[in-house]
Structures are given as C-alpha cells and as structure tokens.
Amino acid sequence: MSLVQTYTSFSHSTSRSSVAETLQSIINAPLTVDPSARPELVQTILDDLKAALIDNKDGRLLSEDAPLALATLKALGRMPTEAAVLAKSSNLALLLKFYNKLDNKQEGGNEALRCVANTLLLVEAARMTWISEDVEGGETCVELLQTKTSPEAIFLISRILFLCTASSHSSGVFITKLVENKRSTPHGTGTIVDIIEVKLDDLLNDILAGTPMAREAMMDLLKFIFNLLLHYPKIVDCEIQTLGARASTSSATDASKVMGDFWSSRLDGILAPLLRVFNYLPLATSNPLAPPLTHVLHSLIVIPVSSSLRVTWFGKRSSTSSTSRQSPKPVSSSASSASEQSLANGDDSTKDSPVSGSPTITSSPTSGREHRVRPALDKALSAMVSASRRSFSSRPSSVRSTSRAADTVQRATDLLDVSLAHFISGSTDPDDPSVRELCKREGETNLDAILCPLVVLLTRFCHSDDPVKLRLRNWLVPDNLDRSTPLQHRADTLGRCLRLLASMYHSRLCDAMGGFLFAMCDSDAATLSAYFGYGNVAGFLFKKNIVAPPPQSSLTVTGPDAGRAINPITGTYQEEQPELDMTEEEKEQEAEKLFSLFERLERTGAIQPSQNPVRTAIQRSMGGNP
C-alpha cells in the first residue's frame, strides 16, 4: 500500500503512532510519493487540519497531530506543483488560521509560517494573494513583527515580508501603507519604521547574548528593510539627492528613478538603528564582512548623507570632537610586521579570548601557502570584536541607551583595513589566484561583491561631508607618510588600494576604489596624482577620459623627511640627481656635438631651422628673434 493510500485509510480512531509514522515517512522522502497523487494529498492534509483545528470535528488528524502534519505540508510544498496548491487564496488563509490556533505551541505555529514562506518563494503570484484583502496576511505579519520576540518567529515573519515587498510594481500599495499608516505600538503610535527600530535593537542584543537564530533573523529583517528603502522613494514623490544635499522634489516615474538618488524623509528613522548595528555588531568569522553586516551596508548606501541626517551619520561636531576625530587610526605595515614577529617568537598575546555568547575568531586555511601568516589581521579582528563586546558588556537592556556616540567613519575604515588584509594579505597581487580561492572557500562569489558596498559607502562620505573627506585622506595618506618605497608595493591598506586600481579580475572593485580615491582628493585629477603618483592612477583617469600630464607635486611632507621633493609619477621621494662632473672644455665639446647633430638634421630637411633648439637658444642669447 502506498503512503497516500495508507494516509487516506486513517480515521480518528487510528493509533496516533501510526499516523505519526506515516507522516514522518512522507517528510523523510517526499519524492517517493506518487507525483500524480501529491497535489491531492496536500489538499487532503489541509482539509484534515481544518477539521481538527478550526471545525473541531473528528477526522484523520487530531489537534496533537498538527505540528507534524504541517511539517509534512512543508516537505511536500518544496515542489512547485504542490506549492501551487498551497498558493490558493483559501489555502493561504487556512495556513494563517492554523498559525493563530497554534501560536501558543511555537513549534506548530512556526511550521505554518514556514509553509507560507516556501510557497511565496516558489509561487510569485502568491505574494500578491497573501497581502490581498481576502487573506490579509501582510497586515498580520506586521502585527506579529511588532509583538513577537522569538528570533525564529521574527526570521520567518521577516522572510515573508521580504518576499511580499520584492517588487514595487506588484506590492507598491502595500509598501506605501507600511511606511505611511500608523498603528498602535507599546510606545504609542508608529509606522513600520518605528517597529523596525525596536526589532533591530532587540536582535542586536540577542546576537550579543548568543541567542540561536538571532543572526538569521537579523539578515532577513535587513533584506526586508532594503526593499522598503529601495522601493518606497520610487513609488512616491520624493526628494532628489545631490551629493548629500536636498535639491528639489520630484514625481518622476518609477522606472526613471535610480537607487540612492531619491529619498523620503519618512524613512529617516531607519538610519539610527542601522548605524547601531553597523557599529556594534560583533564579527563572527575570520571574514569581517560577513552577513548580516553586508546586508547593513547594502541598506546604508541607499540612505543619503544629507544635511538633515548628517548628525545621525556622524554625531554632533564640536571643537573637541573635530580634534579627536581628525583621522581614523591607521594600521601601519610596521605594526603588522611587529605583530608577526611577536608570534614568531612564541608570543600568543594576540590570540582571541573566548567570551560567553560570542564566537571566537579563527584564521582561515592557508591553502598550501605557508608564507601567508596573518597574525596582524587576527589581532586587528580580535581588537574590533573585543571593542564591540566591551561596548555591550556595560549596556542596559536596550542598545539605544548607550551614552557613548559611535564613530561610524572609524568603524568603516577599520572594516576596510581588516577586510583588505584578510583577502589580500601582505603585498599579494589582488589578481593572484589565492585571492579568488579564499573567496570561494568562504562561500563568497568574488571580491567585488564583498568589498564594493563598503567602498561605495566611504565614497559617499567623501562626496557629502568635507570634514569627513579630510579625515579619510589623512587616514590613508597622512602628511608624514613614508614615501621611501613604491606606494603600490606597501603591505598595508594604501598599498592594497593602489594595487586594486590595476586589477583585471575585480573590475567593479577597481572602479569603486578609484572613485573613492578620486572623491577623497576633491574629485581633482591633479590632487589625485599628487597624493598617489600619476603612474598609479593613470589607468583610472584614462577611464574617466581625463588625459593630462602629471602636475608638479605640491604636497607638504612633515617629520624627518620634511622638505624632500616628491616624484609626481611614482608618489615616492624624488631622488637627488648628482651633478655632472665635467670640465668646461668637456661641456663645450658636448655642446659642439649637439650643434653639429641639429645642423645635419636641418640639411637633410628633417627639421626646419626654426625648430632647431640650439639655433633658437643662440639667437635669443644674442638678443635676436628666434
């Protein structure tokens, strides 16, 4: 007898162990069920659940069988044909009723939400059905997001809301209602923005406490947030952003609006909790730019650094803060070398100290390259994680109650520093196969996808805030920078940034890095060449159709090398040319040879007399016209 026949033969008097055994067999091997009978089996189980939970009738299933029966629907619903059965309006409404009935039994309620999430993933039309007036699943999810505290429930609710807001065309009305309609909250009335703020802070505290599923819940909540930030400004009349400054209001069509160029002040409240996550989220792996931090970056690059949001981005400025935050603290190559030497001597002080509820950072495999020792990176990562942990060790229950203002610019530069050191260790060429292999080992597609959002965020900082631009420039190329060796060969962040400008494999990151350095230098080719050397930036300038000879460097060098000239091509110190040790007689002989050479060129017609530099110089010295 097949599994379908076995199940349909059951009645309310059948042993519950037999029912459970059959359902578990279907869960373990759903593909073994006859494909032609699977859709009917899905509908039968739904009807049996309705009889047991909603109608209180005797049937094949009892209320105690509901969690396992819903798990069976989840297993069968992973296939498109069976998902289409669940996607019917009446069946989605049933799943929502099942959740409400089983809400106190968390296992069963979450299984109902998983069925919905899988269905919306496989059947795009079901997303519109879910938020329609017939089902009202969208509004229910918002209420659940507001009231639920379990990370697993928040994960499932956020996944459903993320799928329902994936398209601005099909869910534009729903997105607009989410952002604009106020609802009652424990703190008064508020929109989805207010609910999101609380949930982000709660999940951040859960992550710090090591709560299971907290990171996964944060990731899907951030995906939902990104949809709101991406689509809502396109749907409504909103403000055009020009390098961080509000210029005008536009009602351009959805298709003509570009991400990041339009913004609505209704979304302003999302920035503060996003920055708290960005600044205080502990690093969980050797790769500092791992989810959910990458999802935070995707949302942050959509939000403008406008005049109204500048305080939220960077905090209030004062004479004290402007001095103390003049430039983020760099990690020099000498410091890296010292750290490596300390480990070579047996000093294990750079090892991570496990903290309750927080994972320990471990170094990744070396892939056969024994020379790729990364203690400096591990030490930097450990320091960042420890700082994040310390900042929360004295926190009250709410993340928002911290009294210390976070330095977003410092956090961004720290992340760029350790991320580049992780993927491009030492003076490695970014196009070295080991870099791509490391990305694959850590489950990332390529370096472009990992680092571009962070570089774009730093670029937006430079475009929108002059003091921050100066900080970033002083961080990367301080006045006392040691320019005795080629800048592109340095084993630090500056060297890695310049090597990326010549990368062939990471074209998007190459362009993004060039844009960051260009914005850092006032978007001026001469300034860019002066700081980094024309030879290092010529390729980037050529892509921007800026073709000009390198200017004479006007940089001011401080420290022990003050007064030394800088080579405009390499960006390194100009070597002093020794004077030619020639007598006056030898100089006259060389001049005669040069004069004879140009005379022969005149006689052969290779040059005109007016083009002879020697003749021109003689005529000028005699006071005549050349």
3-state SS record for 153-186: HHHHHHHHHHHHCCCHHHHHHHHHHHHHCCEEEC
How far is residue 346's CA from residue 342's CA, in Å, rounded to a whole number? 7
Confidence category of residue 570, pLDDT binned at 50, 70, 90: confident
Assigned token pair, 195: 């609910």
Question: Percent of the chain scored above 70 by pLDDT?
Answer: 76
DSSP 441-494: HTT-S-HHHHHHHHHHHHHHHHHH-HHHHHHHHHHHS-TT---SS-GGG-SSHH
Q: Is residue 355 part of a domain?
A: no
Residues 6 or more apart whose CB falls under 8 angstroms from that of 138 comprise: 130, 131, 161, 164, 174
Q: Is residue 325 part of a domain?
A: yes
Answer yes or no: do 486 and 532 share one domain.
yes
Q: How much is the pLDDT for 106? A: 64
Confidence category of residue 571, pLDDT binned at 50, 70, 90: confident
From 195, 304, 331, 202, select the one nearest 244 (Cα to Cα).
Answer: 304
SS3 277: helix
258 pLDDT more than 60: no
Q: Is residue 397 part of a domain?
A: no
326 pLDDT more than 80: no
494 pLDDT more than 90: yes
Answer yes or no: do 331 and 302 share one domain.
no
Q: How much is the pLDDT for 246? A: 42
φ, ψ at 467 (rounded to 5°): -60, -40
How far is residue 248's CA from residue 241's CA, in Å, rounded to a whole number? 8
Q: How much is the pLDDT for 152? A: 95
Q: How much is the pLDDT for 340? A: 37
Mean pLDDT of 151-166: 97
How many domains does the chain fold into?
A: 4
* More confident position, 342 or 67: 67
350 pLDDT more than 70: no
Q: Is residue 585 part of a domain?
A: no
Confidence category of residue 335, pLDDT binned at 50, 70, 90: very low
Among the candidates 135, 151, 171, a domain finishes at 135
* Burial class for 318, CB neighbours closer than 10 Å (0-12, 13-18, 19+): exposed
- Report whether 499 contacts 544 (CB < 8 A): no
Q: How much is the pLDDT for 390? A: 41
Answer yes or no: do 520 and 385 share one domain.
yes
562 pLDDT more than 60: no
Confidence category of residue 414, pLDDT binned at 50, 70, 90: very high
Least confidently predicted of 43-47, 444-448, 507-511, 607-611: 607-611
Least confidently predicted of 85-89, 155-159, 184-188, 249-253: 249-253
* Burial class for 93, CB neighbours closer than 10 Å (0-12, 13-18, 19+): middle
Which domain covers residue 244, as residue numbers?
184-312
* More confident position, 559 or 301: 301
Answer yes or no: do 111 and 2 share one domain.
yes
Confidence category of residue 107, pLDDT binned at 50, 70, 90: confident
Mean pLDDT of 307-319: 84
φ, ψ at 506 (rounded to 5°): -115, 65
Q: How much is the pLDDT for 328? A: 62
- Report whether 497 contacts 420 (CB < 8 A): yes
- Report whether 361 contacts 286 (CB < 8 A): yes
SS3 249: strand
Give just the sign of the alpha carbon dihedral 158, 161, 163, 165: negative
Confidence category of residue 593, pLDDT binned at 50, 70, 90: confident
- Report whether 251 contacts 323 (CB < 8 A): no
User: What is the per-residue pLDDT across 416-442, written as a single tens digit (0 to 9) for each?
Assistant: 999 999 999 999 999 999 999 998 888
Q: Is residue 547 part of a domain?
A: yes
- Report whether 494 contacts 475 (CB < 8 A): no
165 pLDDT more than 60: yes
From 412, 386, 419, 603, select the one nearest 496 (Cα to Cα).
Answer: 419
* More confident position, 198 or 586: 198
SS3 13: coil
Q: Is residue 143 part of a domain?
A: no
Listed ranges 2-11, 111-120, 251-260, 611-620; the one with the highest mean pLDDT? 111-120
Q: Is residue 495 part of a domain?
A: yes
How far is residue 29's CA from residue 12's CA, in Å, rounded to a whole number? 25
Answer yes or no: do 320 and 306 share one domain.
no
Mean pLDDT of 330-357: 38
Q: How much is the pLDDT for 620? A: 72
Q: How much is the pLDDT for 245? A: 44
Q: How much is the pLDDT for 503? A: 92
Mean pLDDT of 561-582: 69
Q: At 107, which CATH number?
A: 1.25.10
Answer yes or no: do 421 and 552 share one domain.
yes
SS3 of 337-405: the string is HHHHHHHHCCCCCCCCCCECCECCCCCCCCCCCCCCCCHHHHHHHHHHHHHHHHHHHCCCCCHHHCCCC
Answer yes or no: do 467 and 325 share one domain.
yes
Mean pLDDT of 80-99: 96
476 pLDDT more than 90: yes
Q: How much is the pLDDT for 144? A: 94
Residue for token digits 């073994």? 32
Answer yes or no: do 305 and 323 share one domain.
no
Answer yes or no: do 308 and 329 share one domain.
no
Assigned token pair, 189: 């009335």
Mean pLDDT of 27-39: 93
- Report whether 245 contacts 307 (CB < 8 A): yes
Residues 6 or more apart whose CB falls under 8 angstroms from that of 42 comprise: 73, 76, 77, 82, 85, 86
Q: Is residue 348 part of a domain?
A: no
Largest alpha-carbon pair distance within the chain? Answer: 124
Q: How much is the pLDDT for 342? A: 37
Answer yes or no: do 614 and 556 share one domain.
no
- Report whether 345 contacts 370 (CB < 8 A): no
Answer yes or no: do 296 and 322 share one domain.
no
47 pLDDT more than 70: yes
* Mean pLDDT across the chain: 81
Assigned token pair, 363: 């170094």
Q: Which one-letter DSSP state was computed for residue 432?
A: S
Mean pLDDT of 67-88: 96
Least confidently predicted of 162-166, 346-350, 379-383: 346-350
Answer yes or no: do 470 and 607 share one domain.
no
Residues 6 or more apart whose CB falls under 8 angstroms from that of 206 comprise: 151, 214, 217
Assigned token pair, 332: 């020099």
